[in-house]
Amino acid sequence: MFFVLQGEGIAVCDGKEVPIRAGDSLLVPPTGIHEVKNTGRDRLYALCIMIPNEDFAELIRSGIPAELDEEDMAVLRRSRVPVLR
C-alpha cells in the first residue's frame, strides 16, 4: 500500500497507469508488478506499507543511507516549506 504525502506522479501496476497526488492511497495486489513514477517538478513523498514483509525491510536497510534535508523534515512534520529554486 502507498499513501502519497506530497507531490504527484503515476502509479503503474501490471500495465495499468493511474495518476496519483497528495492524499491518494494505492493498494497493490501481492503479486502485482508495480512502479511509482514522479511526474511533478518537486519531490514525490509516499509512505509504503508492505505486509507480509517478504524481505522489504531488509532491501531498504541495504540501500545507500541518505540524510534528510529541510524539505524532507517539513513533509514528515506535515508543515509545508516552500522549495527554493
Report CA-CA distances (Å) from 23 to 26, 31, 55. 10, 24, 27
Q: CATH code at 38?
A: 2.60.120
Separation CA 69–CA 80 (nearest Å): 13
Number of domain units in the chain: 1
pLDDT range class, residue 73, cuts 50, 70, 90: very high
Output the pLDDT for position 33: 93
CA–centroid distance for 19 within its chain: 13
Q: What range does the domain containing 56 cover?
A: 2-77
Could you tell me which residue, 56 or 83, shows the higher pLDDT?
A: 56
Residue 31 covered by a domain: yes
* pLDDT tens by residue, 6-57: 999 999 999 999 999 999 999 999 889 999 999 999 999 999 998 888 888 8
Residue 82 covered by a domain: no
| 3 state DSSP class of 80 | coil
Segments in the chain forming alpha helices (H): 56-61, 70-77
| Amino acid making up residue 66 | A
Residue 84 covered by a domain: no
Output the pLDDT for position 1: 94
Q: Is the pTM of this model over 0.95?
A: no
